[in-house]
Amino acid sequence: MKLDNTEKINGEIVANIEKDLRYISGIIKQKGREMLSNYKITPPQFVALQWLFEDGDMTIGDLSNKMYLACSTTTDLVDRMEKNLLVERVKDPSDRRVVRIHLLEEGKRIIDEVIKKRQVYLEEILDDFSMEEIQFLQKSLMKLHQEMR
């Protein structure tokens, strides 16, 4: 439901929503880092693995853009992940000059495990919510995400 001209969003409400989202994001990031302490990867490596898991093979340049990092930084990141057998560099069959980063089984396993642990954590938090509240939260977050794209 879109607001009409007579309705204005209260600035204080917007400020509170932004603050809550910032705090929630920080808590999720901190919990994620705690979960990663059981694995031999760094938080930036986890972010890179997530992009590869969700979007498939990509070049260093593509991954750099998604992570907002310099190509040299991403190259170092990929070097360490390749050394730990999380990813591999693969030549593009249609253009041998192009090298893509490919997620290996160990990388997939780590991403899958950590995401499942995050979901268990969220499920525990949502335990005190009614089903109606959970569904409303899901719809609201989905709509917010769509509007931000």
Would you place residue 2 in the very low, low, confident or very high pLDDT band (cuts 50, 70, 90)?
Answer: low
Residue 88 pairs in a beta bridge with 102
Nearest alpha-carbon partner for 52 in 89, 20, 18: 89
Contact 52, 103 (CB under 8 A): yes
Domain boundaries, given as residue ranges, for the chain: 11-148
pLDDT of residue 7: 62
Classify domain 11-148 at the CATH topology level.
Arc Repressor Mutant, subunit A (1.10.10)
Residue-wise pLDDT for 83-132, tens only, equals 999 999 999 889 989 999 999 999 999 999 999 999 999 999 999 999 99
Pairing of strands 87-92, 95-103: antiparallel
Residue-wise pLDDT for 35-71, tens only, equals 999 998 999 999 999 999 999 999 999 999 999 999 9
Helix (H) or strand (E) holding 144: helix 131-148
Residue 91 pairs in a beta bridge with 99
Q: Which of 6-10, 75-79, 136-140 has the lowest mean pLDDT?
A: 6-10
